[in-house]
Structure 1
Amino acid sequence: MPGISSLHAAMPESAVPGCLPPGLLDRVRHYRLERVRRQLRKSRVPAIVMYDPVNIRYATDTSNMQIWTGRNPTRYILVFADGPVIGFEFHNCEHVWNDVPVDAEIRSAVCWNYFNAGPEAAEKAKQWAREIADLLRQHAPSERRIAVDRLDPVGLHALGEEGISVVDGQARTIKSDDELVVMKAAIDVCEQGIQRMHEALRPGMSEQELWAHLHFENIKLGGEWIETRLLASGSRTNPWMQECGPRLMQKGELIAFDTDLVGPFGYCADISRTWTVGHVRPTDDQRRLYAAAYEQLHTNMALIKPGMTFNKFAERSWAMPDTFFKNRYSCLAHGIGMVDEYPSISYFQDRGYDGMFEAGMTLCIESYIGDESGKEGVKLEQQVLLTDHGCTPLSTFQFETDWL
């Protein structure tokens, strides 16, 4: 990707909502839709049906109750490689397309999930499949194959009865320069939320109260939702993956979090930091854990280069001491865009799938350090852009370097 190594330096300091350069968002929309179409042509698939609300947002920049429609498949789109975009919208929601410059035909969705169709689900799925098949015959008459991002068995069977075979449709790896500016806007909002948490943190407040400060700042500044509630304190930091609760935090214990925040324009900011409650000096044991997490994170960031395979990276990555290995994080790094995305890179011992790093990828480098029988743990995560020269941080919130 030309010029990508200098992109970060050229980004505005605060690409927050209202501050995007004129025309940039429309260029992002055009890039994403055309990238979907290029991938279809490359795969020799005439069209894709998208149900995942994040994929719909990626292709069309339309959004409608994303969390609800993520559980209830009641809106979907059909994108042709060389043909129209057709949006199938939930009841009386055609207006969500009004301010989006996508040339699309809008139809009413055929909803065949049990909530909407009850015992008529199979018959509704047949109606849905007939409409998809008719559109395929109209716009790609020689083709009987289609990509789908996700589909329940009833729908897969209904398409099969129409003589249509289905291939998997998931790919959002490389980011354009304009897309990176929009992602930075989400990160800026997230880091304002982290700063609010940092200033609000005090002994005696609950984990949930602290987490609410991140939500508040995100919504206030045009963000959308947060995928998890990963904030824990004290003994709940080990093992990791405990969501925030009513526990009252005590002075001097560790508090760690993972933002998983979908900010303005639908892009994700996925950042982890660990502090002490009350921002007091850590104990020697807390410093030991933090130093190991910091070393893992920065060693692995320095290692990744375009052209390196995932397996080679995993093999050369920071050697985790045995005392931490059982409680390790689920991956060394993962892709990031509108949400977490391909790739997810496993530890070498876990034998994950292989692939290759490319310039233009946006990644999150992960670390969790906690002794197998320990009392506390440290979670760190940095969001980066992979350039021709290596990883450039996109998230810039400070680490506790005075603990090292």
Structure 2
Amino acid sequence: MSAPSSTLHAISSVAPGVASPSTPSTATAVDHTALDSGRMARLRAAIVEAGCDAGLFYDPTNIRYATGTSNMQVYSLHNACRYVFVPAVGPVVLFEFKGCEHLSVGHPMVDEVRTAVSWYHFIAGTRVGEFAKLWAEEISALLGPDARDLAVDRCDPIGASALGEHGIRLHDGQQAANRARMIKTPDELDLIRTAIDGCEQGVAHMRASMQPGMTEQELWAQLHAANIAAGGEWLETRLLTSGQRTNPWYQECSDKTIDAGDLVAFDTDLIGIGGYSVDISRTWIAGAATPTSDQQRLHAAASEQLEHNLQLFHPGASFAEISQRGHIPAADIHSVTNAAVAHGIGLCNEYPLILNRDHFDGGGYDGEVEAGMVLCVEALAAPPGGTESVKLEEQILVTDTGIERLSTCSLELD
């Protein structure tokens, strides 16, 4: 089965003295039926475009994209306990964790709910092969005798072998899902804006909470609390550091005490309202201190990188072009730990990943920016072997004429 690519694109704990975070003031009423049906239409089109008869999805973000349902999202990231069968045409069957079937009965995007056949070792023990065989028989029956091409996002060798015994040909389901999720529907954009508003209120709460003497972990907890209070879900990383722990970047928060005058750098990396991810970075000065000249230089360099690279995004721009034209700081403050110019984002970090020119030959790939993409553009000024760094990141929407900055909270140090 095949279809032109145009088919897909046509479907279009709180610190003392600090107030508790509030529900986002700009939250909009989301038509979840329209949201879910729009996403399902894009996914079915992507399955057809991949030349497949159906898709089988285990990644909880793909299940959510397909059906609008969620259950034990973090647990199911590392335990294959939920999956959904999405035919190009026909009824969608959600296989739910045993005992949780009632959670999704009657959902508009789910035609049938069945109990998942789990065969990962923790559940199946010595019976892995037996349960995998039962699982494969059920999937084969759903495909039917004349349909043998299946897009699967996750499948270990035991499962692949069991499906192969039924003559089922496996295709890359993650690529199909990425193709669908790459362009956001109008309903998705409404929810993304609400999620960003909720995150930014949490960031404001965290900034109001920040005071010398608290630990990095205590400060990071403020964003967790605000995210949950607003209806968000979880944080994918723990990227908040202070002082000398800001360099090199990619260290997670610790029990280090934040001192007055420290730079405090963080990356939200959170799954917020409606399951949509918000990924912005800011760097602040702790306490009432005036930034030093070195700190100001780092901030100016990261700001220059960010503002230059934001202007590179427009429909038709190639990933290779963006990489080559992208600005990177001077050698004495450029760290190779920041490989990305930008990456896609939706229910989590998504396709594409556009690498800086000093990483592109080793791991980059080409593609084309399209209207409707939501991206996060990154900047980092970090002297190799130095003591501090500045990390900045903005979330944007690519429009027909350029970009719309979706994140709005201050980029200033103080």
Fold match, TM over 0.5? yes
Alignment map for 1:164-243 (pairs within 5 Å): 164-170=168-174, 171=178, 172-243=181-252
**Number of the residue aligned with 1:143:** 147
Offset at residue 55 of structure 1 (A): 0.6
**Number of the residue aligned with 1:360:** 372
Residue ranges of structure 1 left out of the alignment (5+ in a row): 5-13
The letter for the 2-side match of 1:82 is: V
Q: Deviations over 1:150-174 (max 9, x none)?
A: 1112111111122111111121100
Q: Deviations over 1:75-100 (max 9, x none)?
A: 10000011110011111101221473
Contact 2:299/2:413 (8 A) holds in 1: no
**Matched residues in 2 for 1:18 and 1:344: separation?**
30
Matched residue pairs, number?
388
The letter for the 1-side match of 2:394 is: Q
Matched, 1:400 2:412: yes
Offset at residue 330 of structure 1 (A): 2.5
Q: Deviations over 1:216-273 (max 9, x none)?
A: 1111111111101110001110001111111111000100000011111110111100
Structure 1 residues 204, 221: CA separation in 2 closer, same or farther (over 3 Å shift)? same
The letter for the 2-side match of 1:158 is: A
TM-score by length of 1: 0.92
Contact 1:328/1:369 (8 A) holds in 2: no
**Matched residues in 1 for 2:35 and 2:313: separation?**
27
What secondary structure does 1:400 align onto? coil
**Number of the residue aligned with 1:274:** 283
What secondary structure does 1:335 align onto? strand
Structure 1 residues 387, 212: CA separation in 2 closer, same or farther (over 3 Å shift)? same
**Matched residues in 2 for 1:18 and 1:51: separation?**
33
Contact 2:335/2:381 (8 A) holds in 1: no
The letter for the 2-side match of 1:283 is: T
Residue ranges of structure 2 left out of the alignment (5+ in a row): 1-8, 13-21
What secondary structure does 1:183 align onto? helix
Q: Deviations over 1:337-371 (max 9, x none)?
A: 00000000111232200000000000000111100
Offset at residue 327 of structure 1 (A): 3.5
**Matched residues in 2 for 1:176 and 1:272: separation?**
25
Matched, 1:302 2:311: yes
**Matched residues in 1 for 2:65 and 2:248: separation?**
34
Matched, 1:41 2:65: no
**Matched residues in 2 for 1:69 and 1:43: separation?**
26
Aligned-residue Cα RMSD (Å) equals 1.9
What secondary structure does 2:126 align onto? helix
**Number of the residue aligned with 2:29:** 21
Alignment map for 1:8-157 (pairs within 5 Å): 16=24, 19-21=27-29, 24-98=31-105, 100-137=107-144, 141-157=145-161
Offset at residue 54 of structure 1 (A): 0.7
**Matched residues in 1 for 2:262 and 2:68: separation?**
42
Matched, 1:315 2:324: yes
Contact 1:327/1:371 (8 A) holds in 2: no
The letter for the 1-side match of 2:305 is: Q
Q: Deviations over 1:183-222 (max 9, x none)?
A: 1111111001100011010000000110111011111111
